[in-house]
């Protein structure tokens, strides 16, 4: 080799620069693919069985109270003229509904995932920044100012459409109604309650004064500082039901947590018997073809009742094993044919 200026441009003779790095070369050989598929298939079938069995054991009960049918107890509340209408739905439990029981309200055909609906809120207002109380962001339009040009707090479509039905559950014992306590604490995410949303500071010792100069959302019956006057920790933007509602759902059919049944006589769950659900019906859904329902459910290590994962794992596991056998047959057939050709 001649020494000279060309030598200075030579790359280093290391493994990295000369592409001689030690490499592992995975190959799709029969010895790896077929046992691999069998193992995956068996593992998936195992997981699928566990998921399916667990899901079968979870109980859930749905009570539709939209009141579309004339025979429904809540039909009287569906007319527009009805205000503060109360209706009662009755149901019976044949066995113990194991606790802790979670109480949800569910809506269908409700598109909280609609884009313009989803951005229609003011994050600054909701974190207690009072400057934005008087100057709500444009993303809240048309629920930004009311007809008299007063700023709305909390502004936006999501807050304005907050679910307003309330529920009380009673067990009928010896002809008498015994209330089942619904625990509404901690139903929202910890991060929502502690980090994402916060109330404005009190003004002159009064919470209502912090909102002076603003009006409540158009569809609300009471302003945000009266959502829970008895408990300041649950009032204003930190109201648990408000936080649960503001966490917009991804799908048009959703359920949101309303309360937990885990105290007192019902710590073990709901015993068998007759129950009455008293509903303060004020949220209109019939105009857009939606339905409302109450869902009672218990949970397990995999969450709520969901048949899909268990069945999917079982199906995929079986398919894997079938494919492993098919591949083995094809491989064996072609291997033996080839060996014959070589001879």
Binding to another protein (CB under 8 A) within 230-289 occurs at: 244, 247-251, 253-257, 260
Nearer to another protein, 27 or 343 (CB): 27
Q: Name which of 172, 184, 167 is nearest 263 in CA terms.
A: 184
Helix (H, G, I), strand (E, B) or coil at 171: strand
Tell me how far apart the alpha carbons of residues 230 and 240 are, in angstroms, rounded to a whole number: 14
Task: Give me the least distance between CB of 30 and another protein, in Å please.
Answer: 5
The span from the first CA to the last CA of the chain, in angstroms, equals: 50
Alpha helices in 102-234 (DSSP H): 115-118, 123-126, 131-134, 157-160, 190-191
Which residue in the set 26, 81, 94, 205 belongs to the binding site for another protein (CB under 8 A)?
26
Q: Considering the rule CB under 8 A, would residue 61 count as an interface residue with another protein? A: no
- Under rule CB under 8 A, residue 28 binds another protein: yes
**Shortest approach of another protein to residue 154 CB, angstroms?**
15
Based on the shown chain and the rule CB under 8 A, indicate whether residue 11 belongs to the binding site for another protein.
Answer: no
Which is closer to another protein, CB of 90 or CB of 263?
263
Cα 292 from Cα 280, distance rounded (Å):
13
Q: Does 33 bind another protein (CB under 8 A)?
A: yes
User: What is the DSSP code (8-state) at residue 143?
Assistant: S
Q: CB of residue 104 vs another protein: minimum separation in angstroms?
A: 8
Tokens 């625990």 locate to 183
We find the least distance from the C-beta atom of residue 149 to another protein, in angstroms, to be 25
Stretch that binds another protein, among 66-74, 168-176, 200-208, 324-332 (CB under 8 A): 324-332
Q: Between vectors from CA 258 to CA 255 and to CA 260, what angle results, nearest 5°?
A: 115
Q: Is 131 one of the binding residues for another protein (CB under 8 A)?
A: no
Q: Is residue 305 part of the contact set for another protein (CB under 8 A)?
A: yes
Candidates 68, 195, 233, 272; binder of another protein (CB under 8 A) is: 195
**Of 14 and 230, which has the nearer Cβ to another protein?**
14
Helix (H, G, I), strand (E, B) or coil at 118: helix
Of 261, 259, 311, 296, the C-alpha closest to 56 is: 311
Among 103, 114, 89, CA closest to 296: 103
- Would you state the structure tokens that stand for residue 51, as one six-digit string? 């998921």
Size of the site for another protein (CB under 8 A): 72
Measured from the CB of residue 317, what is the shortest distance to another protein in angstroms? 10
CA distance 87 to 74: 5
Using CB under 8 A, which residues numbered 147 to 186 contact another protein? none
Q: Six-digit token pair at 265?
A: 């006589």
**Position 100 contacts another protein (CB under 8 A):** yes
**Nearer of residues 76 and 196 to another protein, judged by Cβ:** 196
Minimal distance, residue 305 CB to another protein, in Å: 7
187 binds another protein (CB under 8 A): yes
């Amino acid at each position: 080799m001649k020494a000279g200026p060309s030598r200075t441009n030579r790359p280093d003779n290391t493994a990295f620069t000369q592409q001689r790095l030690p490499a592992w070369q995975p190959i799709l050989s029969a010895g790896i693919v077929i046992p691999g598929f069998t193992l995956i298939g068996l593992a998936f079938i195992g997981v699928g069985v566990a998921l399916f069995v667990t899901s079968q054991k979870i109980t859930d009960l749905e009570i539709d109270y939209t009141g579309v049918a004339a025979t429904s107890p809540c039909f009287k509340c569906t007319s527009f003229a009805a205000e503060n209408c109360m209706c009662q739905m009755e149901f019976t439990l044949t066995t113990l509904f194991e606790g802790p029981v979670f109480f949800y309200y569910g809506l269908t055909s409700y598109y909280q995932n609609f884009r313009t609906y989803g951005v229609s809120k003011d994050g600054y207002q909701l974190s207690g920044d009072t400057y934005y109380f008087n100057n709500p962001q444009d993303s809240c339009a048309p629920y930004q100012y009311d007809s008299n040009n007063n700023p709305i707090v909390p502004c936006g479509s999501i807050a304005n459409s907050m679910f307003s039905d309330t529920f009380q559950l009673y067990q009928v014992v010896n002809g008498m109604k015994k209330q089942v306590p619904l625990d509404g604490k901690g139903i929202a995410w910890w991060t929502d309650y502690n980090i994402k949303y916060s109330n404005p500071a009190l003004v002159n010792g009064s919470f209502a004064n912090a909102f002076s100069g603003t009006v409540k959302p158009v569809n609300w019956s009471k302003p945000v500082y009266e959502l829970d006057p008895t408990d300041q920790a649950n009032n204003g933007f930190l109201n648990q039901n408000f936080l649960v509602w503001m966490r917009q759902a991804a799908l048009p059919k959703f359920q949101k947590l309303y309360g937990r049944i885990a105290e007192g006589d019902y710590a073990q769950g709901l015993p068998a018997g007759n129950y009455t659900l008293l509903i303060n019906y004020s949220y209109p859904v019939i105009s857009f073809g939606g339905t409302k329902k109450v869902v009672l459910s218990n949970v397990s290590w995999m969450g709520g009742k969901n048949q899909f994962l268990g069945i999917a794992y079982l199906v995929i596991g079986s398919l894997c094993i079938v494919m492993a056998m098919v591949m083995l047959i094809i491989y064996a057939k072609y291997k033996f044919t080839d060996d014959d050709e070589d001879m």
